[in-house]
Structure 1
Amino acid sequence: MHTRTVAALTLTACEGTDTASSKPSSVQSANDQPLAAGNAPTTDDKKAATLPGMIGKSVQSAQDQAQAGGFYNLNSHDVLGRGRMQAFDRNCKVCSQTSTPGEHPTDTKVDFATVKLEETCPARDEGAAPRAAGSTMPDFTSKSVKVARQALDSSTSITVVP
């Protein structure tokens, strides 16, 4: 007969109900002196870093490299304009990127225009954010229904014909 032992683990918060004695009453600097008004950290300080060129890399590698450089505001889109979701970043490659390679604040948005690995990058980005429909109907030839819905007002009904 086999015996099986099961262990249970319970986690509790580190903070008790008496928070007045467990929290500092003011912000302290490294040498335990209160920060002077002119020395307080500001949110305007933006760290800058070098964003490398990612064209030709897998989306996963591009994201990893951007994050290693301190860039976390990352996005990607289907450059062919089909509105496809990228379920597996390793199966897609970067055709172009915005912001351009070079020195940028690390909170800069980085957008990768992508295709599947076996596809060829087009000469033009067809998948940038859909333009809102104006007084004339946009040309949705070879576009997905998803792309058409994104470009049209939400009250517009769409009928798909084969």
Structure 2
Amino acid sequence: MALALGGCAGGTEPSPTVGTEPASTSSATPAPTSGGEPPVTSAPELITVPDVSGMNHQDAQDTMQAAGLYNLREVDGTGRGRMLILDRDWVQTGQTPAAGTKVTPDTVITLTAIKYSDR
């Protein structure tokens, strides 16, 4: 069995360059523009948290995702720690952050629900 290695002309390897930084480094402070002002950086997009109180849990999840919120956490509102397996069997009793709050898309949204049979 033969093993061929390409690109090894003369058995020399390129030596690393000393004292240079990779081109992809970035500084913590944006470089000033020609006017001496730092460039304007855009703030993260803010999303208004929808009100899903009283909704079926599946519909509440769909509503949050339609708004652009995907970091969803679900909690059994009875405190029994049950998993919300069949979302349509649960009704929303609370949410954090509150409806109307402006959040970034990566904010954790906690949806609290109870089974319809717990009412």
Question: TM-score band (shorter)?
Answer: 0.5 to 0.7
Runs of 4+, deviation exceeding 3 Å: none
Question: What is the CA–CA distance in structure 2 between the aligned matches of 1:107 and 1:46, rounded to whole Å?
Answer: 10
Residue identity in the other structure for 1:109: V
SS of 1:77's partner is strand
Kindly report the root-mean-square deviation, in angstroms, between the aligned alpha carbons of the 2 structures. 2.7
Q: What is the CA–CA distance in structure 2 between the aligned matches of 1:86 and 1:75, rounded to whole Å?
A: 10
CA distance in 2, matches of 1:60, 1:81: 20
Aligned equivalents of 1:110, 1:91: Cα separation in 2: 20
Report deviation, 1:81. Answer: 1.0
| 1:57 aligns with one of 55, 58, 70 | 55
How many pairs does the alignment contain?
86
Q: Identity of paired residues, percent? A: 36
Unmatched runs of 5 consecutive residues or more in structure 1: 1-36, 121-162
- How far apart are 1:112 and its partner, in Å? 0.9
Q: List runs of 5+ in structure 2 lacking aligned partners.
A: 1-30, 33-38
Larger RCO (CA under 8 A, 6+ residues apart): 2
TM-score when scaled to structure 1? 0.46
Larger radius of gyration: 2
TM-score, length of structure 2 as denominator length = 0.62
- 66-75 or 97-106, larger mean C-alpha shift: 97-106
